[in-house]
Amino acid sequence: MATEQVSSNPLPEFMIGDFQMETSDKFNEFMIELGVNWVTRNIANNLYPVQKIRQEGDEISLNTETTFRTTETKFRLNETWKEDTADGRQTDTVATLVDGKKLRKVQVPDPSTGYHTTEELREFNEDGSVMTLTLSIPGKPEVTCVRTYKRLVPEPEQPEKEQQQE
């Protein structure tokens, strides 16, 4: 079994960008296990979020945008921070860069809440055109959710004034 290499380097360039969800498997089961109510689950299951990953210096921002709700979080690799998750938990979260192509976030709630610890693993293909997000609960592999995202490529800007003058 290969060992994982955890890095404190900045994110590779292919991880930076906007990614639109295309497919989702077992998201409802995952939300049920987290105790998300039926109304919120029904809405969330019909959304196709865009994840925006940015980096400025050593600070990373990871925003998830939908027509229903936008969540924003900023962090530094290998440093614990307080995160308010989309499902309403408050967690101590740490993010690590694994094997140079995976971004892992582990979210640990206060044990007295009874909430589960969760893991988000974002894995990118070689050119960064596809991001696979695996949502899991350690010890409960039957409720692992896999969501596939494709990179959004910005439209090239057309120099309108130059075209009009020609």
Boundaries of every domain in the chain: 6-152
Q: Which amino acid is located at 139 in the chain? A: G
Q: What is the mean pLDDT of the chain?
A: 89
Q: 16, exposed or middle or buried, with CB in 10 Å at 0-12, 13-18, 19+?
A: middle
Instruction: Extract the runs of DSSP E, i.e. beta strands, from the chain.
Output: 6-7, 17-25, 50-56, 59-65, 70-75, 81-84, 90-98, 102-109, 118-124, 130-136, 145-151
Answer whether 93's CB lies under 8 Å from 106's CB.
Answer: yes
pLDDT at position 162, please? 53
Among 57, 64, 114, residue whose Cα is nearest residue 85: 64
87-128 per-position pLDDT tens digit: 888 999 999 999 888 999 999 999 998 889 999 999 999 899
* pLDDT of 1 over the 50 cut: no
What number is the average pLDDT over the span 127-132? 95
pLDDT at position 68, please? 79
* pLDDT of 54 over the 60 cut: yes
Tell me the CATH number for domain 6-152.
2.40.128.20
Question: pTM of the entire structure?
Answer: 0.86
Answer whether 32's CB lies under 8 Å from 21's CB.
Answer: no
Say whether 94 sits in a helix, a strand or coil: strand
